[in-house]
Amino acid sequence: MDRPEGPAVTVWLFFFVVVFLRAQATYWIARVAAVQVLTRPHPTGGWRARTHDWLEGDSAQRGADVVRRWGALAVPVSFLTVGAQTVINAGAGVVQMPFMRYLLAMIPGCMVWALVWTTIGMSAFYAAVGAGLTTGWGIALAALTVVGVVAAVVVFRRRSRARA
């Protein structure tokens, strides 16, 4: 059997490093913030107030609840989901999951995430390029799509804040 070589391995390593660093940053920021921010009275403004509100908000609490319920198993499974990865990694930090347990649970998740993005993600990229994103109309359509998604996110967030 041949040894894997070439750009696929390089792309996999790139994605692995990216997700590894992102997951570690999320875990450590939430872990430190949980100790530094939640153990003090609610601040009146600035980043500490926003961090305090986020850590006590629904998404951070859901992530912490999932980690409390499923333990280390929640961490690698979160890498197969869309939208839950950050919340679960932050939840592991909030509940102060021991670092070695988190690391050992996170590495397989990072490996699978990198494999998915190396195969399916790159295939989608090449399909998009093959579908005409190299033409003027294709680039314009892609840019319009990105602008539409960004506008929808901004409107959604403003409405959510207005309700709160």
| pLDDT confidence of residue 77 | 92
Do residues 85 and 79 lie in contact, with contact meaning Cβ atoms separated by under 8 Å? yes
Do residues 23 and 78 lie in contact, with contact meaning Cβ atoms separated by under 8 Å? no
| pLDDT confidence of residue 43 | 67
pLDDT tens profile 38-57? 667 766 777 777 777 777 77
| Integer Cα distance of 142 and 147 in angstroms | 9
Write the burial class of residue 81 (CB in 10 Å: 0-12 exposed, 13-18 middle, 19+ buried).
Answer: exposed
Give me the mean pLDDT over the 57-65 stretch: 83
100: pLDDT strictly greater than 60: yes
| Integer Cα distance of 67 and 65 in angstroms | 5
143: pLDDT strictly greater than 50: yes
15: pLDDT strictly greater than 80: yes
Cα dihedral across residues 5, 7, 12, 14: positive or negative:
positive
Do residues 34 and 55 lie in contact, with contact meaning Cβ atoms separated by under 8 Å? yes
Half-sphere exposure of 124 (CA within 13 A, CB side): 5
Task: State pTM to two decimals.
Answer: 0.69
* CA-to-CA separations, 4 to 7, 8, 108, in angstroms, rounded: 9, 8, 19
Q: What percent of the chain has pLDDT over 90?
A: 32
2: pLDDT strictly greater than 60: no
Give me the mean pLDDT over the 30-35 stretch: 85
| pLDDT confidence of residue 74 | 92
| pLDDT confidence of residue 1 | 44
- By C-alpha distance, which of 141, 120, 123, 122 is closest to 132? 141
